C-alpha cells in the first residue's frame, strides 16, 4: 500500500506524460525537433538532460567513440545553446566523474569567483544591503566564469577528444537553430522586462521585438562563432583573449539602454581575474548509506555535505517500511536539520575553516537525528549543531536563516560503453542570469555572486558565505554518483533548483534506494523541500493530497511551490546495459537517450 500511494501521487503529477523505454538516439545528423522521452534503456552509453537536442549531441559523441567526459562537454555546450537562461560559458558548475578502470570518483569545482577587489561590502550601498533585484541585473552580480575552464580541465584529464571536436554539435545547433518550445517562450516572457534593459539581450532573445513563437526556429550565430573561436584557440580565448576582454567590458560598463532608466551598477571584474582563474580538482564527499558509497561535490558547494548529512540522519530509520506519512516526516526533518548546519559551517574552504569531515560523520548525524520525533515537528529556524564537538540532541547555538539562491540551473548525466559516468550540474544562477548578454558573443553572463550573503545571515554568528577577493560563493549544487560495495555504479543523478537541489537529490535518492521506485518514477514523484524555514514547500500533487492533512496533524506547515527541481539520472543495469531517466513533465519534460537499444 505504501508504494501504491507514492506511485499514485507520481501518476497524478505526470498523468499527461508518455514513457518509452527503448528510445535510441537519432542519427548523428542535426537533431532539432527530436521528440523527448523521459526514459531509455540500451547499450553503448546513455545521456539524460532537459533538452533533446543537447542529449542527442552527447549521444553523437558517444557514437563516434568518445567517452562519457567527451559526451558530457558536448551535451553541456549544446545546453548553452538551447538552455541559455540556465547555463553557458558565462557561468560555472561542478563536475563529478567516475572512472571505471580505477573504480574511483573525482570532481572539479568550476564555480565562479568574486573579483580580486571584492570584499564583504560588495552588496552594501550607503550602509544597507542592496535589494536582491537591484543586485541581480548588474555588473556587481557577475563572477569570473568557470564553465569553459571546467570543460578543458575535464577533457585534458579524462577525455579522449579535443575541445573543438566536442563543441561541433553545439556550434551546429547554434548556427542552424533549434525549435522553440513553450518552456523557452515562458522563460523569455518571465525575463522580458529585464532583457529590455540591455539592447544586446533584447536583440538576441526578443527577435523582432517580441517573444519567440512556439514552433519557430531560434538561431544564435554569434554563439556559433564564439564556440568556433573557443574550439580553434582553446579557452585562452576567454581567459587571456578577445572573448575575455568583451566579458570584462560588459561587466564593468553594463551596456544598458539609457531610456530604460535601469541603474545597472558596474562590476569590478578585471582581465587579471580571468587570467588567474582555475577550475579546481578536489576530493569528493563520501557518505556510506545502506552499504553503498554516495559521492558528491565538496565545498565550495554545500551539496555533498548537506545531502550526506541528511542521509546519515536517515540511516537509522528503515524508510522502506515506514508509512508514506512517516517517510515524508523524517525526510522533511532531516532536511531541516542539515540546512541548519549548512548555513553555519559551509563556505569556500580556501577562505573558511569548513569542517567537511565532521559534518559527514555518523557520530554528528546521530547527535542531530535524536532531535526528530515521530509525533512532533522541529521549529525553524533551527539552531546548528557543532560537528567538531557533537552534543546529543543539542540545538543551543545561534540560528541563521537560509539565504536565497536562484532556482534555475541545468543538470546532465552521462555513461559510456566502458562504464565511465559523469554527473554534471552547470548554471548561470537564476533564470536569465544577470540578463546581460556579451555584445557580439551570444551568451548571457551569470549572477552567481548574489549567492553570497549580502550581510551576515545572523549578526551574532560568523557567516562563512560573505563575499571576499576571488572567493567562491556557496552553492547547493549536488551532482551525485552512488557505488556498490564493489565500487561499481548503481545510479548517478542531479538537479537544478537553487537550494532545492539538495532536497530534490535527497528525495530522489531515498525514493529510489529506500522506497524502491524505478528511477524515472523516483524522479517524477511529487516533491517536498524543507530548508530550515518556517514552512515546507510542497508541489501540487502533495499539497492537494491527504498526506498534507496527515502531516499537518503532526505539526508541519506548508506552502505551495508549483515546481521543484528537474532531475536527470543514469542507472547501471546488468550485462552492460544502461538506463537513462529524466523528468516526465517538469521544465517541459526531459530527454533520455541511449546509443543503441539492442546489444
The pLDDT score that the predictor gives to residue 16 is 32
- Sign for the pseudo-dihedral over CA of 200, 435, 80, 214: negative
44: in domain? yes
CB atoms within 10 A of CB 233: 16
The pLDDT score that the predictor gives to residue 406 is 62
Beta strand pairing call for 568-573 and 577-582: antiparallel
Distance of alpha carbon 511 from the chain centroid: 19
397: in domain? no
Contact 488, 102 (CB under 8 A): no
Residue from 409, 410, 427, 480 carrying the catalytic annotation: 409
478: in domain? yes
Contact 317, 330 (CB under 8 A): yes
Query: What's the structural domain count of the chain?
Result: 1
The pLDDT score that the predictor gives to residue 34 is 72
CA dihedral 514, 516, 518, 520 (to 10 degrees): -30
Contact 235, 229 (CB under 8 A): no
Question: Is 409 tagged catalytic?
Answer: yes
The pLDDT score that the predictor gives to residue 599 is 83
Beta strand pairing call for 292-296 and 480-483: antiparallel
424: in domain? yes
The pLDDT score that the predictor gives to residue 527 is 98
Mean pLDDT by groups of 10 residues along the chain of 599 residues: 40 35 44 78 98 98 98 98 97 98 98 97 95 96 98 98 98 98 96 98 96 97 98 98 98 97 96 98 97 98 98 97 98 97 95 97 97 95 94 77 72 98 96 97 97 88 94 97 98 96 98 98 98 97 98 98 97 97 96 95
CA gap 71, 76 in Å, rounded:
8
488's grid cell: 561499481
The pLDDT score that the predictor gives to residue 38 is 98
CA distances from 183 to 179, 535, 583 (A): 11, 28, 14
The pLDDT score that the predictor gives to residue 31 is 41
Residues spanned by the domain of 446: 21-282+411-467+474-494+566-596
The pLDDT score that the predictor gives to residue 13 is 38
Q: 407: which residues sit within 8 A by CB, 6+ positions away? A: 430, 431, 496, 497, 498, 500
HEC string of 206-262? CHHHCCCCCCCEECCHHHHHHHHHHHHHCCHHHHCCHHHHHHHHHHHCCCCCHHHCC
430: in domain? yes
Overall pTM > 0.85: yes
| Residue 36 DSSP class | P
CA gap 403, 334 in Å, rounded:
18
- Where are any strands of DSSP class E within 376-434? 410-416, 421-427
CA gap 480, 497 in Å, rounded:
15
Contact 468, 120 (CB under 8 A): yes
The pLDDT score that the predictor gives to residue 460 is 81
532: in domain? no
329: in domain? no
Contact 107, 477 (CB under 8 A): no
Distance of alpha carbon 209 from the chain centroid: 31
316: in domain? no
Contact 299, 345 (CB under 8 A): no
Q: CA nearest 163: which of 100, 254, 72?
A: 72
CA gap 149, 152 in Å, rounded:
5
Contact 581, 568 (CB under 8 A): yes
Amino acid at each position: 500500500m505504501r508504494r501504491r500511494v507514492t506511485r499514485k501521487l507520481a501518476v497524478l503529477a505526470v498523468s499527461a506524460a508518455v514513457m518509452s523505454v527503448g528510445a535510441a538516439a537519432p542519427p548523428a545528423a542535426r537533431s532539432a525537433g527530436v521528440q523527448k522521452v523521459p526514459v531509455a534503456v540500451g547499450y553503448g552509453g546513455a545521456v539524460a538532460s532537459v533538452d533533446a537536442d543537447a542529449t542527442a549531441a552527447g549521444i553523437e559523441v558517444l557514437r563516434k567513440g568518445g567517452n562519457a567526459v567527451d559526451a558530457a562537454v558536448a551535451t553541456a555546450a549544446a545546453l548553452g545553446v538551447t538552455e541559455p537562461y540556465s547555463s553557458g560559458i558565462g557561468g560555472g558548475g561542478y563536475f563529478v566523474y567516475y572512472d571505471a578502470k580505477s573504480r574511483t570518483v573525482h570532481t572539479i569545482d568550476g564555480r565562479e569567483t568574486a573579483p580580486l577587489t571584492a570584499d564583504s561590502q560588495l552588496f552594501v550601498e550607503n550602509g544597507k544591503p542592496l535589494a536582491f533585484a537591484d543586485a541581480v541585473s548588474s555588473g556587481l552580480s557577475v563572477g569570473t566564469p568557470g564553465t569553459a575552464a571546467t570543460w578543458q580541465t575535464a577533457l585534458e584529464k579524462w577525455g579522449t577528444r579535443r575541445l573543438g571536436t566536442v563543441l561541433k554539435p553545439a556550434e551546429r545547433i547554434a548556427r542552424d537553430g533549434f525549435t522553440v518550445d513553450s518552456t523557452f517562450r515562458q522563460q523569455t516572457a518571465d525575463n522580458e522586462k529585464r532583457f529590455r534593459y540591455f539592447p544586446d539581450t533584447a536583440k538576441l532573445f526578443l527577435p523582432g521585438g517580441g517573444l519567440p513563437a512556439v514552433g519557430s526556429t531560434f538561431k544564435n550565430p554569434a554563439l556559433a562563432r564564439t564556440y568556433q573561436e573557443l574550439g580553434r584557440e582553446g579557452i585562452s580565448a576567454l581567459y587571456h583573449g578577445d572573448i575575455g576582454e568583451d566579458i570584462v567590458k560588459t561587466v564593468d560598463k553594463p551596456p544598458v539602454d539609457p531610456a530604460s532608466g535601469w541603474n545597472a551598477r558596474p562590476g569590478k571584474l578585471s582581465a587579471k581575474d580571468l587570467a588567474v582563474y582555475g577550475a579546481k580538482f578536489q576530493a569528493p564527499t563520501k557518505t556510506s548509506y545502506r552499504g553503498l558509497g554516495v559521492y558528491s561535490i565538496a565545498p565550495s558547494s554545500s551539496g555533498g555535505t548537506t545531502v550526506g548529512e541528511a542521509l546519515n540522519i536517515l540511516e537509522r530509520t528503515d524508510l522502506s517500511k515506514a508509512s508514506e506519512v512517516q517517510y515524508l516526516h523524517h525526510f522533511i526533518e532531516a532536511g531541516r536539520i542539515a540546512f541548519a548546519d549548512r548555513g553555519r559551517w559551509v563556505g569556500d574552504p580556501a577562505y573558511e575553516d569548513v569542517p567537511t569531515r565532521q559534518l559527514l560523520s555518523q557520530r554528528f548525524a546521530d547527535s542531530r537525528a535524536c532531535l526528530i520525533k515521530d509525533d512532533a515537528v522541529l521549529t525553524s529556524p533551527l539552531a546548528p549543531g557543532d560537528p567538531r564537538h557533537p552534543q546529543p540532541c543539542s540545538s543551543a547555538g545561534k540560528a541563521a536563516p537560509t539565504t536565497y539562491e536562484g532556482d534555475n540551473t541545468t543538470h546532465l548525466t552521462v555513461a559510456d560503453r566502458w562504464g565511465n559516468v559523469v554527473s554534471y550540474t552547470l548554471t548561470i544562477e537564476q533564470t536569465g542570469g544577470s540578463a546581460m548578454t556579451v555584445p557580439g558573443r551570444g551568451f548571457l553572463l551569470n549572477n552567481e555572486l548574489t549567492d553570497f550573503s549580502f550581510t551576515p545571515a545572523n549578526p551574532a554568528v560568523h557567516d562563512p558565505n560573505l563575499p571576499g577577493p576571488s572567493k567562491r560563493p556557496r552553492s547547493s549544487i549536488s551532482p551525485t554518483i552512488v557505488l556498490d560495495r564493489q565500487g561499481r555504479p548503481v545510479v548517478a543523478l542531479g538537479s537544478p533548483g537553487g537550494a532545492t537541489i539538495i532536497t530534490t537529490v535527497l528525495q530522489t535518492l531515498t525514493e529510489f534506494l529506500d522506497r524502491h521506485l524505478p528511477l524515472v518514477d523516483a524522479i517524477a514523484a511529487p516533491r517536498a523541500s524543507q530548508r530550515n524555514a518556517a514552512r515546507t514547500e510542497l508541489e501540487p500533487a502533495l499539497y492537494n493530497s491527504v498526506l498534507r492533512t496527515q502531516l499537518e496533524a503532526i505539526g508541519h506547515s506548508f506552502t505551495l511551490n508549483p515546481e521543484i527541481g528537474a532531475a536527470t539520472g543514469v542507472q547501471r543495469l546488468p550485462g552492460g546495459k544502461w538506463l537513462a531517466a529524466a523528468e516526465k513533465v517538469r521544465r517541459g519534460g526531459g530527454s533520455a537517450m541511449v546509443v543503441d537499444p539492442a546489444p
